[in-house]
Amino acid sequence: MLRTSCLDAKQRLYGDNCNVKAVFQLGAEIKSAATKAGFDLCGIAPVAPNPELAYFPEWIEQGHAGEMGYLKSRNEAGELRRSSLEIAAPWARSVVVCAINYNAEEPYSTEFSDKTRGWISRYAWGQRDYHDLLLERLRKLESEIKELTGEDDFRSWCYVDTGPIVERVLAKYAGVGWQGKNTCIINQEVGSWLFLGVILTSLPLAPDMPAADRCGSCTRCLDACPTDAFIDAYKLDASRCISYLTIEKRGSIPEELRDGMGNHLFGCDICQDVCPWNRQAAISDKEEFQPRPELVNPALDWLAEMTQDDFRSIFKGSPVKRTKYSGLRRNVAVAMGNSGDRNFISRLEQLAVDEDENVREHARWALEKLQ
């Protein structure tokens, strides 16, 4: 009965002349091709209004995007591009959402107690930027889809973090996982250490069922956030998030948030580290996602001594380059101030007279804290 109802729904969605069986078959072949391309998960989302995206304009209006101007991009009619696929890509009829597990066999940030060392987010430990690695796989899958369809007028758009619609919303409706209270996508078998990639397509593919929300009454992620970045469950004020403060925020970090940053230098994993679904999270078997040992809980002294040439060389091809040399040294100064270790005073005194005003300000704050 359920199978018949699903087929009826697809018939209504795609029209009476559509071969529903062929639509299902093509979706299955695409998922198989995604596995061959190196993805761990793949699902298909419909092009439809989503409540999460309906909330997006209000979220922007309330200032929760901070200085991330690209999220506020509008079309000629003044509509936020990221608020609807109908606005951003009116030709799209379905979305292929792929995911790769990047979890490494290393302790979580909450398990390290040495405050003389900093934290670089788990996703940035690899040899290459995940954007490039996922795009290579997405384009391989895109080519395979074109061959499977044989359609001359097939249209598609691959992206990783740079597209019009937030991937995690599409991932939810593609059945890849549910959106947790920390706004991350969580898969029941794999956990939440997932890179997401998207292919918008003009094909009328059969969508998957959204994954059931299994967060229940748990609020560990919300309670653990040191900067109180969660407005409520499923709602993040990005302007208070440590990931935003250490990566996206340029210039001076608000003083009232610096204490909460702890020893974080690039990104933050706390809300995922405490998630019960990550207790037995799968470990990635992909060679390119294996961590560089020097980036796992690195010594603050080592980073503070780094020259601009060192920064370019060490972080070439790494997501860490996004914070820029100035931003990383700023973050190191804050982490030293939060360490409680007075051995950092001499190093901070040097940073306090640095030629970079941004570094000077945060080093002086750190010195005051330690002294």
Q: What is the sign, positive or negative, of the torsion defined by CA atoms of 125, 66, 187, 41?
A: negative
Catalytic residues: 161
Q: 299-371 in CATH: which number?
A: 1.25.10.10
Strand partners, 100: 195
pLDDT in tens, 75-94: 665 666 565 677 778 899 99
pLDDT at 85: 75
Domain ranges of the chain: 299-371
In tens, the pLDDT along 281-328 reads 999 999 999 999 999 999 999 999 999 999 999 999 899 999 999 999
pLDDT below 70 — which residues of the chain? 1-21, 68-84
Give CA separation, 256 vs 20, 193, 227, 228, 276, in Å: 57, 29, 9, 11, 30
pLDDT given at position 7:
41
What pLDDT, on the 0 to 100 scale, is given for residue 134? 96
Q: How far is CA 138 from CA 106, 130, 175, in A?
A: 28, 12, 18
**Are the CB atoms for 85 and 92 separated by under 8 Å?**
yes
The residue count of the chain comes to 371
pLDDT of amino acid 153: 80
